């Protein structure tokens, strides 16, 4: 297909003047994009856009409806008013991995060789077919260097890069969503990060999965994704009420004048939340057990699924922790009228994409 002169000029201009880096979060339920201004300690959310995807457009990290996702990226960018063509995209799913490793002292090359060799032992989807990187985050208490290693299967990286390319976006940076969320957390609590480094649990309740992060000693020491999310609530409403996916999504959030859901819908939601929290508890039990050397002292939740009624109270009971919402806008400036979103909802769905937009290199 011939490329129009306008498209050729737009491509040339974007390469000459790529603009600021903006974040792109391709989720199973929606695509989020955002652009920040300022620097650490003085960030402001300037632009935010969201596009809701149809059922099964993206299943885990496998693209099912590429044309819809490409259109969604373009629509989200357009609605946000983002002019930049340069983005940082986040990856997630079973073909990604993070690992906290310790490397002995040595030259830069020796440290890198040690970390890369050791990291290969933990990549279940094959190191030879993966993109691997790491970052030194500080000195280890027992000597040597502390490092965070990130890996993603090359096929997954290429499929996400192709989506952005088709949407006429240049993906300058690639990150993992769990690390982007950790960066947002650090920015929010940078004044008290030593306190929260004693052990903080961060839970991101998404549509298809829940991301678990245990943050300790200056970085995540444990990350995991489990296959429970808000989409399971939608599916159960679909099944029990005999309605379409779109109708079930509406029923999940349609409240009366007093802000209450119909009892039948609320019962379905409560039952699903109980199941999901039980699954989360199995995965975090080691970290919240009293007396454990790795126990956590704080818990924050984010993600669209965290807005489900009763989730925070139930999670607090099973974890024994005071559970709070992770609120980027306690430190990130935002003009609510300009962005056009309810701040409570925006805070829940934007923590990852904000972390992506913070990346500059």
Measured distance CA(358)–CA(22) in Å, rounded? 8
Query: What percentage of the chain carries pLDDT values higher than 90?
Result: 77
pLDDT tens readout for residues 66-86: 999 999 999 999 999 999 999
Enclosing domain of residue 352 = 19-357
The SS3 call for residue 267 is helix
> Is 141 part of a structural domain of the chain?
yes
pLDDT value of residue 292: 63
Can you say how many angstroms the Cα of residue 285 is from the centroid of all Cα atoms in its chain?
Answer: 22
305 Cβ contact partners less than 8 Å away, ≥ 6 residues apart: 205, 206, 207, 210, 229, 230, 233, 311
pLDDT value of residue 260: 83
Stated pTM of the model:
0.91
> Is 125 part of a structural domain of the chain?
yes
pLDDT tens readout for residues 106-155: 888 999 999 999 999 999 999 999 999 999 988 887 788 899 999 999 99
Check residue 180 and give left, alpha or beta (phi > 0: left; psi -120 to 50: alpha): alpha
pLDDT tens readout for residues 228-247: 999 999 999 999 999 999 99
Please check the confidence at residue 19 and state whether its pLDDT lies above 70: no
Measured distance CA(93)–CA(72) in Å, rounded? 20
> Is 118 part of a structural domain of the chain?
yes
Both ends of the chain: CA-CA distance in Å? 34
Please check the confidence at residue 178 and state whether its pLDDT lies above 80: yes
Question: Who has greater pLDDT, 75 or 60?
Answer: 75
Measured distance CA(129)–CA(233) in Å, rounded? 35
pLDDT value of residue 255: 79
pLDDT tens readout for residues 276-333: 999 999 988 877 765 566 789 999 999 999 999 899 999 999 889 999 999 999 999 9
Confidence of residue 210 (pLDDT cuts 50, 70, 90): very high
> Is 2 part of a structural domain of the chain?
no
Indicate the average pLDDT of the chain.
90
> Is 240 part of a structural domain of the chain?
yes
> Is 1 part of a structural domain of the chain?
no
Whole-Å CA distances, 2 to 5, 53, 165, 231, 345: 9, 29, 16, 40, 42
Total number of domains constituting the chain:
1
Counting other chains too, the contacts that 218-224 makes at CB distance below 8 Å and 24 or more residues apart are: 218/137, 218/138, 218/146, 218/193, 219/100, 219/137, 219/138, 219/146, 219/148, 219/182, 220/98, 220/100, 220/148, 220/178, 220/179, 220/182, 221/100, 221/294, 222/100, 222/287, 223/98, 223/178, 224/283
Question: Who has greater pLDDT, 260 or 77?
Answer: 77
Q: What is the DSSP code (8-state) at residue 307? A: G
> Is 10 part of a structural domain of the chain?
no
The widest CA-to-CA distance across the chain, in whole angstroms, is 67
Output the domain CATH number for residue 40.
3.30.420.40
pLDDT tens readout for residues 152-176: 999 999 999 999 999 999 999 999 9
Please check the confidence at residue 16 and state whether its pLDDT lies above 80: no
> Is 161 part of a structural domain of the chain?
yes
Please check the confidence at residue 9 and state whether its pLDDT lies above 70: no
């Amino acid at each position: 297909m011939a490329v129009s002169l306008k498209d050729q000029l737009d491509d040339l201009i974007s390469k000459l003047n790529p603009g600021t880096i903006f974040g792109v979060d391709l989720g199973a339920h929606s695509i989020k994009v955002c652009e920040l201004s300022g620097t650490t300690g003085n960030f402001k959310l300037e632009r935010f856009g969201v596009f809701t995807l149809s059922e099964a457009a993206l299943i885990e990290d496998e693209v099912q409806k590429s044309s819809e996702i490409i259109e969604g990226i373009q629509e989200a960018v357009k609605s946000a008013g983002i002019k930049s063509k340069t983005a940082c995209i986040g990856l997630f799913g079973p073909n990604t991995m993070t690992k906290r490793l310790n490397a002995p002292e040595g030259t830069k090359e020796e440290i890198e060789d040690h970390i890369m060799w050791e990291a290969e032992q933990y990549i279940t989807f094959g190191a030879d077919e993966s993109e691997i990187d790491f970052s030194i985050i500080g000195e280890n208490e027992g000597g040597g260097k502390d490092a965070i290693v990130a890996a993603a299967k090359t096929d997954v990286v290429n499929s996400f890069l192709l989506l952005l390319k088709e949407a006429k976006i240049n993906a300058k940076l690639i990150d993992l969503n769990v690390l982007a969320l950790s960066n947002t957390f650090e920015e929010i609590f940078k004044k008290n990060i030593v306190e929260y480094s004693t052990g903080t649990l961060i839970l991101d309740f998404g549509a298809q999965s829940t991301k678990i992060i245990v943050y300790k000693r200056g970085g995540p020491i444990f990350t995991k994704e489990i296959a429970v999310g808000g989409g399971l609530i939608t599916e159960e409403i679909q099944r029990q009420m005999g309605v379409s996916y779109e109708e079930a999504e509406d029923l999940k959030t349609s409240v009366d004048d007093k802000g209450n859901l119909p009892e039948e819908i609320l019962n379905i939601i409560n039952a699903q939340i109980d199941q999901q929290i039980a699954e989360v508890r199995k995965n975090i039990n080691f970290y919240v057990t009293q007396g454990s050397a790795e126990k956590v002292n704080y818990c924050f939740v984010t993600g669209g699924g965290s807005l489900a009624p009763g989730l925070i109270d139930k999670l607090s009971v099973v974890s024994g922790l005071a559970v709070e919402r992770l609120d980027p806008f306690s430190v990130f400036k935002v003009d609510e009228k300009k962005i056009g979103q309810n701040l409570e909802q925006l805070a829940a769905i934007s923590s990852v994409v904000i972390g992506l937009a913070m990346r500059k290199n």
